[in-house]
Chain A
Amino acid sequence: MARRSTTLPPQASGEDPTIRPATLADVAGVIGLDEEVTGLRKAAYWQDMFERFGARRRDQRFFLVAGAPGHLDGFIIGEVRAWEFGSPPSGWVFAVQVRPRLRVRGLGARLFAAVCARFRTAGVARVRTMVARDNAVIHAFFRSQGMMAGPFIELEMRLD
């Protein structure tokens, strides 16, 4: 059996060849895609996200993209978090976006599968996320991937 090596082409390692870790050159594409989706340009925010999740501790933090730099088709961001609320290490997904005209063709599912594969490699057995209750699309998307409500409940109050 061939030894696992980081020099293997992505296909040979069983990875989705169209999905790769983000590089600095992708940040502009992420900013543009997010602006197209949300109508807001948040350059400093995405720059910071890349520095925190794309450039450091890359065995635990995953900023993955699909498409060409400058014109991304989609991205997903996740990280392994340990012992928050007493929970053993688990994967957290906290951003996913697919270019509107490319939706409902399986790219979101492939991005999710790619980040889950990295969580497994990082040794965690569970993946979590949080969705806005009235965002039916993103909620339906995560449900379609097999996610269910977990054992935590989000609580909040006004501070006034």
Chain B
Amino acid sequence: MKLQKATAFALYAVLELAAEPGRQRTAVEIADKYGISAHHLAKVLRDLGRAGLVEAVRGVGGGYRFVGNAKRLTLMDVIGLFEGTSAEADAPTPGEGQDIASGLRYVLAELDAQTGATLRSISLSTMLKLVARRPWESLAAARPARPTRAARRGP
């Protein structure tokens, strides 16, 4: 699954804001941290505002703060505001007698069920705890170094 830019930006922003619910942050602050377009992020924040996940704070400094329920909002809730996640829906509709195409959609539906269940089971609060544990570090340590081109080619 490949997240569209707007979706990834929305997840960065919502999770940054949910990490410190009392604090307001501007689009520029968040955009700078991730090296992304502040203009694009500002648009995404307005969408998140309309969906009731964040609120614009008026006055000096301005910015946004998180107003959702981090224990109940899931990654899927945020992603679903910006894009669908179904691989099956993206596959061409099989025509009469195209059993292979139907079979392919059947397998894609299995992947979709897995993807959906995963994204619906991870709340923003669970995601923030995961980030704090940094599990990717032990994964990288356990993974053997990638062989170089020369090593793959062999002697």
Contacts and interface: CB of A to CB of B under 8 A. Distances in A.
Interface of A: 133-134, 136, 139-140, 142-144, 146, 148-149
A144 B129 contact: yes
Interface residues of B, number: 16
Contacts of B118: 149
B117 interface: yes
A140 B117 contact: no
Nearest to B113: A133
Contact of A134 (B117, B125, B135): B117
Interface of B: 71, 74, 113-114, 117-118, 120-123, 125-126, 129-130, 133, 135
B135 A139 contact: no
Contact of A139 (B113, B121, B130): B121
B20 to A, nearest CB: 19
Nearest to B133: A146
Given A140-B74, A140-B122, 9 more contacts: A133-B113, A133-B114, A134-B117, A136-B121, A139-B117, A140-B121, A143-B122, A146-B129, A149-B118
Contacts of B117: 133-134, 139
Contacts, number: 30
A136 B120 contact: yes
A134 B116 CA distance: 10
Contacts of A139: 117, 120-121
Nearest to B130: A146
Nearest to A142: B121
Contacts of B71: 144
Contacts of A134: 117
A146 B135 CA distance: 10
A-B pairs with lowest CB-CB distance, top 7: A139-B121, A133-B117, A144-B126, A143-B121, A143-B126, A140-B121, A143-B122
Contacts of A143: 121-123, 126
A133 B115 CA distance: 10
Contacts of A146: 129-130, 133
A140 B126 CA distance: 8
Contacts of B113: 133
A150 to B, nearest CB: 13
A148 B121 contact: no
B123 A144 contact: yes
A87 B99 CA distance: 38
A154 to B, nearest CB: 11
A142 B118 CA distance: 12
A142 B130 CA distance: 13
A155 to B, nearest CB: 11
A148 B135 contact: yes
B123 A140 contact: yes
Nearest to A141: B121
A134 B130 CA distance: 22
A143 B120 CA distance: 10
